Structure 1
């Protein structure tokens, strides 16, 4: 496939064959994105020449964690091993990648967390400087950027570039233990999905009225808890399931929540087979849920809140 249009047609033709299996679906997303990036690289190389330095293209967000649903937006960056004057080339590549992925079915990130943004395209050295600045500032926004970066995974290029930067972060955090508390404060607000009488709480206003916000009420507690433990335990892999398995023996009481996160991934896919856009990707209409569905969803939400609470106590106590 030599152009974005062909890749999009291939995506449309194939995606429903893998849409009911989490691993197969995310493997397919990786293939689409990898092919799109290759087309972008070929196009920029024809116009600008070969890359001036070795580099890696990495995913963040749900793509970085290997947790995409059928539809997804873009979250990605570039890291290169070379002097700062290489940046213009890689920003050009980042722009082309963002455009290409928008054609192949991934909407542009509203927060501009993309390799086309100078904030997410740096040399190894400048990535370390930026991350240390974010952690030193420790504002809500800077820590949000940091946590986004930490869920990174190289898809094209040398994974050692990202690993080197993450090891730098681990050393930085060792000398700033109070940062863990700031990071907890950054993510501890959770949108409630279950009311005081045990009822599910749908959106009450706007276009999302009548829908459950699955991402905020069910996924975030699991994802945020395991990300915090991954930082503490110096775990490089970004997927929530990988993080669960790597803390299995250190925190068995946390690992006991892993089946519920697996169940949540399957639950989401069950209700996404007929959605037509990214805007619907994290919403479940309350009136489509059976009595058993509602019971299952409330359980998964409760387990997420319990998991985050236990993780919070572990980090504060240790």
Structure 2
């Protein structure tokens, strides 16, 4: 029987075989997490799952954009709430989080994990929570909605997730103000391009001389494309799959002309050039170690993301469904 320790050893032995291909790397992460889920299920002393459930991952895992090291972002949707089911999935969620940690996935600082009751609920309770989130005007609940929209079912019933995401889409059709709240939540971008076109690096600390690719590179693309996907009801979770769906629509072809190529290049740079010893390391790129062509390429990618992000935010401020 597999254990968390044996899964960790297998993961560490094999993961470096996938560092030249983001798709294969994320498929490998999926395999590891499913192995953890299987062991967690067998460790449950109160029996097997008492009802149908979905286990989903979100964040970079949900979007199929994980690097070498990734933290935990996951949750559970189970069929029906009652005393037996609630207790089972409370214990199961905690075991999953513990197992992932032991295999090498750090705990999520924001507690987006199955061990947190906020992210482990019955279908009806999830729907009630989403109804609260779409009406609440706080920054935090809008962030939660975006995290949920990036969720991808890794095990179990996919229809639960589809229905819940459809609720978000249908709600924003009737209440366009929700799109404005989404855009306000992600409006600001970390600009690392100086006034004369130079890359602005971190000046102090552990990442001195580095550019934060997460905030300056990835998030402008990820957030802009998620906004358009919510607006159009695109249910795919990966940024590239969302782009491919959106670019089929005539109104977005010009806007997204180079975005898919830029984003693929960005994923490749992170995999091949980042020096990674911890989860935080995956977000940084040491600029002085790049040649001139690579630095020029990074600036092109970052500028493209900022331009895309700016244009999408402007569109949303014009009224979302009236903007384009």
TM beyond 0.5: yes
1:266 equivalent among 242, 265, 268: 268
Whether the 8 Å contact between 1:2 and 1:39 is mirrored in structure 2 is yes
| Aligned residue runs from structure 1 range 1-318, under 5 A | 2-44=2-44, 47-85=45-83, 86-250=85-249, 251-256=252-257, 257-272=259-274, 274-315=275-316, 316=318, 317-318=323-324
Deviation (angstroms), 1:205: 3.0
Structure-1-length-normalised TM-score? 0.96
| CA–CA distance in structure 2, aligned partners of residues 72 and 88 of structure 1 | 29
Deviation (angstroms), 1:276: 1.9
Deviation (angstroms), 1:279: 2.2
Superposed structure 1 runs of 4+ greater than 6 Å apart: none
Whether the 8 Å contact between 1:245 and 1:255 is mirrored in structure 2 is no
Superposed CA RMSD: 1.3
Deviation (angstroms), 1:84: 4.4
Name whichever of 303-312 and 65-74 sits farther off. Answer: 303-312
| CA–CA distance in structure 1, aligned partners of residues 313 and 248 of structure 2 | 18
Whether the 8 Å contact between 2:58 and 2:150 is mirrored in structure 1 is yes
| CA–CA distance in structure 2, aligned partners of residues 30 and 193 of structure 1 | 33
Whether the 8 Å contact between 1:61 and 1:75 is mirrored in structure 2 is yes
Name whichever of 184-193 and 307-316 sits farther off. Answer: 307-316
Structure-2-length-normalised TM-score? 0.94
SS in 1 for 2:154: strand
